Structure 1
Amino acid sequence: MHLQSTPAIADGLRKVESTVARLGGSSALPAINEAAERVIHAGGKRLRPALTLATALAFGKRLDRRIITAAACVELIHAGSLVHDDLMDGATQRRGIPTLNADLGRNKALVIGDFMLARAGLAAVTAVSRPVAEVFAATTVELAEGQFLETADLFNRERTQEAALRSITGKTAALFRASCLVAAICARAETEDRRRMAVYGERFGLIFQILDDLLDLAAPAGRVGKPTGHDLAQGVYTLPILRARARDPHLLDGDVNAILAKLNTAEIVEDTLAYCRELADEATAALPALREQDIAATLRGLPHAYLDQVSELTRRTTLRQVG
């Protein structure tokens, strides 16, 4: 079940792509435009703007210029945050191509990420609405806070599950929440319906990040574009690891290889999927009554469908571990 394959959303995403390209290429400096274009066209699922389009359609809203621009702003914020993530991680590649910091240096990468975030905010306030711009501004604050919290806890073996959840709520789930909320605002949904869509988006964002963290530990080699235990090597003790530590207090003793050797892959997969199923149930329960039933059904099924995809991806690794 893919939002992006729904005809109305697929058509809307083509317009979003054009708008993102236009906004990302709007600097007076050609070098910034070229760098931003590289990031924008580096691939990606476009899941966040697809959520914006789907939410608007579910409320019966036509995909007009304001909705398309709001969805484009979501993607531009995401792209700018990825530039900053790569810079902070010292990453040299993303999706098989050199990162901006590897190619252009840290200073230029920093300002290009800043440009993309600022350009999204300007487009929101001038071409969408002030309330939408305020959501994006608050979300950018949360992105920074979430990333700061993760950085502050690097290599902290006393990190708590609550601390990890607070960090990923800011650095990941906040933008998923905003993706749904700004569409509900544009659709003039009732206050309670806006709140419920925001909860749906946040819960799905948590699922997305937690499962990404699980794949770092349990996906078949080469399937996620980075070596197994990459987060561990960076000193990021993610929620799946912290939940496993609750069962084995000495799990984080030793280096990365020692930790990976002690992990029971089948157990960590089963535990993380069960935790995320609870979040998926919360997400679907939060959905308000929606006008367009086909799109509503897609949104309702999306969290569990994503869980099923990750479960299948990890299945062979799990079988090898327990076989």
Structure 2
Amino acid sequence: MDLQSIPAIADGLRKVENTITRLGGSSALPAINEAAERVIHAGGKRLRPALTLATALAFGKKPDRRVITAAACVELIHAGSLVHDDLMDGATQRRGIPTLNADLGHSKALVIGDFMLARAGLAALTAVSRPVAEVLAATTVELAEGQFLETADLFNRERTQESALRSITGKTAALFRASCTVAAICARAEAQDRARMAAYGERFGLIFQILDDLLDLAAPAGSMGKPTGHDLEQGVYTLPVLRTRAKNPQLLDGDVPAILARLNRAEIVEDTLAYCRDLADQAASALPAFREPGIAASLRGLPHSYIDQVAEMTRRPALRKAI
């Protein structure tokens, strides 16, 4: 199920794209604008702003200027965080093009990421509302904390599943949660309905990150734009790995090819998909009663649809070729 196939969302995303471009190009320094534009237009699913638009529509709120700006701010925060991720990982490419840190150096990439995060916060405060700005500011704090937790556990073979969940809740799920929450605020939804949308967004965000981590291990070699087992090479022991280790304490012994071979035998795909389907059921159950049943059905089915897409990807020859 693709939210972008819904005409009102597709039209809203075109407006969001224009707003992101305007915000990303608003520096007094042309070099910052040029670099930010590279990141903004490097591709991406635009899933987070689509969630913002869908939530507003489900509550009966047409995507007006405030909703469009809130959605653009969410995506700009995401883009800025990717600049920082690439910097921390020492990545040289993202989506097939050189990263800012590879082209401009670490120092310039750092401040460009900072600019994008700050610009999103300023736009939320001045062009949307203080409550929306507060949500996005708190979310940016969570992004930093989640990333810090992951960094603190690099190459830690004693990392717990609880620690991994805390990390991905902060670094990924928090922004999905915010995508839904800011729309509920713009739509003047009741407090309990805002909380329900927050729960939905957070669970979908967890699914998104957990499946991304699974694909790092199980997707066909090269299909993710990075080598299979990249997270393992970086010392990031993700939730799918940690769940498998709970049944196989010796899982992380040896080099990456040996670990991948054990994972292939351990039915990691089936276990992770089942775990995510449970989260998808929780997400669907969290949704409030909406004024627009069609959009509500799309939101309800979205997590399971995404899981099905990933399941199809993992059915292709993956781990055996990768090792």
TM-score, with structure 2 as normaliser: 0.98
User: Residue 130 of structure 2 corresponds to which residue in structure 1?
Assistant: 130
2:224 is aligned to 224
The answer to whether residue 212 in structure 2 is matched with residue 205 in structure 1 is no
Is the contact between residue 261 and residue 319 of structure 2 (CA under 8 Å) also seen in structure 1?
Answer: no
Q: What is the match of residue 180 of structure 2?
A: 180
- 2:309 maps to what in 1? 309
Q: CA offset at residue 129 of structure 1? A: 0.2
The one-letter code sitting in structure 1 at the alignment partner of 2:195 is R
Q: Provide Cα deviations, 1:17-56, integer angstroms capped at 9, x if missing partner.
A: 0000000000000000000000000000000000000000
**Aligned mates of 1:265, 1:57 — CA distance in 2:** 45
Residue matched to 2:235:
235
Read off the aligned partner of 2:29 and give its amino acid letter: L
- Within 2, Cα distance between the matches of 1:220 and 1:25? 37
RMSD: 1.1
Counterparts of 1:168 and 1:317 in 2: how far apart (Å)?
A: 27
**1:52–1:71 contact (8 Å) kept in structure 2:** yes
Residue number in structure 2 paired with 1:93: 93
Name the stretch that deviates more: 311-320 or 83-92.
Answer: 311-320
**Which residue number in structure 2 is paired with residue 284 of structure 1?**
284
Q: Which runs of 5+ in 2 are unaligned?
A: none
Match of 2:169 in 1: 169
Q: Give how far 1:149 is off.
A: 0.2
Q: How does 1:22-61 map to 2 (within 5 A)?
A: 22-61=22-61
Report if aligned partners of 1:266, 1:318 keep a CA contact under 8 Å in 2: no
The question of whether the paired residues in 2 share the 8 Å contact of 1:265 and 1:318 is answered with: no
Q: C-alpha displacement at 1:261, in angstroms?
A: 2.0
Supply the distance in 2 between the matched residues of 1:257 and 1:36 (Cα, whole angstroms): 37
Does the Cα contact within 8 Å between 1:154 and 1:234 map onto a contact in 2?
Answer: yes
Tell me which residue corresponds to 1:66: 66
- TM-superposition CA deviations, 1:40-95 (whole Å, max 9, x none): 00000000000000000000001100000000000000000000000000000000
Q: Distance in 1 between matches of 2:240 and 2:25?
A: 39
Task: Provide the residue aligned with 2:114 in structure 1.
Answer: 114
- What is the percentage of aligned positions where both structures have the same residue? 86
- Superimposed CA distance per residue, residues 132-186 of structure 1 (whole angstroms, 9 cap, x where no aligned partner): 0000000000000000000000000000000000000000000000000000000
Partner of 1:144: 144
* Distance in 2 separating the partners of 1:317 and 1:136: 40
C-alpha separation between the residues in 1 aligned to 2:82 and 2:268? 27
SS of equivalent residue, structure 1 residue 247: coil
Cα distance in 1, alignment partners of residues 161 and 122 from structure 2: 36
In the alignment of these two chains, the number of paired residues is: 321
Aligned to 1:61, the other structure's residue is in SS state coil
Distance 1:27 1:205 in 2: 31
Does the 8 Å contact 1:79/1:116 carry over to 2?
Answer: yes
Deviation at 1:266, TM superposition (A): 6.5
C-alpha separation between the residues in 1 aligned to 2:79 and 2:237?
Answer: 24
1:297 is the counterpart of 2:265: no
Instruction: State how far apart, in whole Å, the 1-side matches of 2:255 and 2:11 are.
Output: 48
